Amino acid sequence: MSLGGGTRQIAAEQDGGGVEQSMENDRRADGPAREDTVGNPIGAGTVGTTEPELVSGVLAVDAGNSKTDVALVTADGTVLGTARGGGFTPHLVGAEAAVAGLAPLVAAAAAQAGLDTAAGIGPLVTHLSACLANADLPVEEQRLQQALAARGWSRTAVVANDTFALLRAGTDAPRGVAVVCGAGINCAGLLPDGRTARFPALGTITGDWGGGSGLALEVMWWSVRAEDGRGPATALAAATAGYFGLPSATAVAEAVHLGRLAEVRLHELVPLLFAAAEGGDRVALDLVERQAEEVARLALVALRRLELLDAPADVVLGGGVLASRQPLLLDAVRARLAAGAPLAVPRVVTTPPVVGAALLGLDHLAVEGLGGGPAAQQRLRASYAGRRPAA
C-alpha cells in the first residue's frame, strides 16, 4: 500500500513465535552480510553488478500509489538530480513492469547530472535505496528488489516499504517508529542494527481501521443511519449532503452507487468530520477518538517490539490526516503516547519522503565505509529545505 495505507508483514503480536519470529529468523540467520536479504531498509540488499559506478552515491526512490520521486545523491550528500512521475502499482501491473516504469525517472535525474543511462558504460550509482508502495510482504519486497538489481542502475539495491522513508525523514538516525495516517493507516519501526517492527496493513482483514478512506466511509455510515433512524442524530448527515449539493447523505450514497459521483471524492468528507468534532458532535468526536487510539496503539506495539517503550524514541507522524495537524486528533494521540511510552517524542513530519529514502541509502554507505556520514546527511537535508518538488 501507499504511505497512506499499507505495509503488509507482521500481523499478530506474538512474543517469540509464529510468523513474526519466523520472518525475523529468516532475515537475520546469516548475519548482516547476507546477500539478497529483504525487510531491512539499511541491509546488504541484492547485488546488481560488480562494475565500477559512475557516481559514488545513492539513487533514492520514494514511490507511492499516486506519485514517485527519484533523487540522485552523492556520497557526500550533494543532490545531483531529481525527477517526479506517476504512481507505483506492482500489484496491478507486476514487479517487472512497475520497475520498468521507473526508467524514465532515473534517466531524467541522471540527465540533470550530465549522465546518460542509455550509454551502457556501467552502473549509475553505488547503491539504490527504494521505499516503495505495495512492497508489503517479504515475497513482494524480494521480487521488486531483484527486479531493481537486474536493471543495473546500482551495485547493490535494497527495497523497503514506503513507510520507512517517512520514518527516516523524521529521525536523525535509523531508529524510531513511524505511523502514517493518510488514505489508510500503517506503522513501521526500525533500529540501527536492522531490526524492524511491521504490520500487514491489508485493511479490515488484518485489523486495520481508519485513515482518510476509512474515516470517509465511517462518515457515510453514521450519516445514512442517522437519516433512516438506525443510528443517533449527527451533524455529519447535513454536512455531507450540503457539501455535495444533494438533499441527503443517502442521496450521496446513491450517487456514488450509480456512478454520478466518483467514490474517490468521499475522502473530501474528512475535514467535515473534524469540523463537526470541533463543534461538539458526539458521533464525530467518537470517530476522532477512535482514530487517535488506532494511531497510538500501532506506535506503542511497535515500540514494545523494539524494546523502546521505556527509552527515548522518536514517533514520527505523517500522512494527510496527521499532517493536517488537527488539534483534537494530535492531542489525543500525544496523551495516549505519554501514558504508554513516557519518553517517546511524537513529531509531525512533512519532509519529502524521498529524503528518507536517500538517508537510508547514506546509512548503508556509512556502514560500508563509503561515505554517507552525518555531514552528508546534513547537506542532503539542507538541499531539500528550500527545494521545490520536482515537476
pLDDT tens-digit map of 118-168: 877 789 999 999 999 888 888 899 999 999 999 999 999 999 999 999 999
**37-58 core/surface letters (b: 16 or more CB in 10 A; e: else):** bbbbbbbbbbebbeeebbbbbb
Q: Which amino acid is residue 323, in one-letter code?
A: A
Q: What was the pLDDT predicted at 11?
A: 30
337 by Cβ neighbours in 10 Å (0-12 / 13-18 / 19+) ranks as: buried
Q: Write the CA distances from 13 to 191, 330, 383, integer angstroms.
A: 18, 25, 40
Per-residue pLDDT tens for 255-308? 999 999 999 999 999 999 999 999 999 999 999 999 999 999 999 999 999 999
Which residue's C-alpha cell is 502499482? Answer: 89
- pLDDT value at residue 28: 37
pLDDT for 8 beyond 80: no
With residue 336 as reference, give the H or E element that holds it.
helix 327-340
DSSP 161-178: ETHHHHHHHTSSSS-EEE
Cell 514517485 appears where? Answer: 68
C-alpha radius of gyration, the chain, whole number:
22
Residue-by-residue DSSP string for 129-155: EEEETT--SHHHHHHHHHHHHHTTSEE
- The Cα 200–Cα 198 span in angstroms is 7
Q: What is the mean pLDDT of residues 173-190?
A: 95
pLDDT digits (tens, 9 = 90+) for 73-120: 999 999 999 999 999 999 899 999 999 999 999 999 999 999 998 877
pLDDT, average across residues 189-198 = 94
**Distance in angstroms (rounded) separating the CA atoms of residues 164 and 199:** 12
Neighbours of 85 (CB within 10 A): 17
Please tell me the predicted confidence (pLDDT) of residue 122. Answer: 84
Read off the pTM.
0.85
- Closest to 123 (Cα-Cα) out of 99, 147, 153, 156: 153
d(CA 84, CA 106): 10
